[in-house]
Amino acid sequence: MDPELCGRLTRAAGHACLRSVRTWTTDLRHMPPPSAAVPAIARERADFTREVVEAATVDPAVVGLSAVACIGRAGRQRCRSRVRVGIGTEGIEWSCDACGESGLVTGFAGTESDFTGQGPRGRTVVWGFEDDERKVLIAATTNAPALRAIFARARPHAELPGLLLLKATVKELDEVYTLVEELTDATRSRKRLDLLDGLRASLCSSMDSDVMR
């Protein structure tokens, strides 16, 4: 543990995190909001914690690997393995099998990241997309919790690394398609346009699968 690093983080995040060995205890209410100007390390920890809460609360019955990437260190590199999430008796528990980091999140009930009750309603289809696409969608929906709740359902494919799957209604996927079109209109990067084109194609494929039932 680096005491100086931990001290900088806790001061920047309003003493929201206390680290002991490789376990984090975090009160979400004390984390800096997405719009706050804070050091990068505090911003990364706050974003990670919110994603953990979103993944755990959107479907409390699902316990296991989430789409959330671990921000722990494996040597000099970020771990980036998937973290396991679940709701325990004291709060949301998360852990990483790869690097050993784990944590407990409290103070999440009633916050914008609490997606309790925001699972799909009605008939659903399966949509598959990739990590890079998820990052773009998550970044674009900081202030759109209803859309973020859809992406929070994503879980990694058991056999294909990098592929994420989620269940959503056609109406929800249509809303995501509208978001992707808006991002496309505002994009000039060729690489980003290719990524967004891939998203539109996968969304169309999933929505069309409902028609063919």
Top pLDDT among 12 and 47 is at: 47
Which pTM was predicted? 0.85
Query: In this structure, are 11 and 88 located in the same domain?
Result: yes
Out of 11-20, 38-47, 72-81, 183-192, the most confident range is 183-192
Contact 128, 202 (CB under 8 A): yes
Query: In this structure, are 129 and 200 located in the same domain?
Result: yes
Query: In this structure, are 8 and 100 located in the same domain?
Result: yes
Query: In this structure, are 88 and 153 located in the same domain?
Result: no
Work out the angle at residue 187's Cα, subtended by the Cα atoms of residues 184 and 188, and round it to the nearest 5 degrees: 130
- Domain range holding 186? 125-211
Nearest in space to 79 (alpha carbons), one of 87, 71, 91: 71
Domain count, the chain: 2
**Residue 114 domain-assigned (yes or no):** no
Whether 9 shows a pLDDT value over 90: the answer reads: no
Per-residue model confidence as pLDDT tens digits over 192-207: 999 999 999 999 999 9
Per-residue model confidence as pLDDT tens digits over 82-124: 999 999 999 999 999 998 999 999 999 999 999 999 988 899 9
Query: In this structure, are 72 and 152 located in the same domain?
Result: no
Query: In this structure, are 52 and 141 located in the same domain?
Result: no
Helix or strand or coil: residue 120? coil
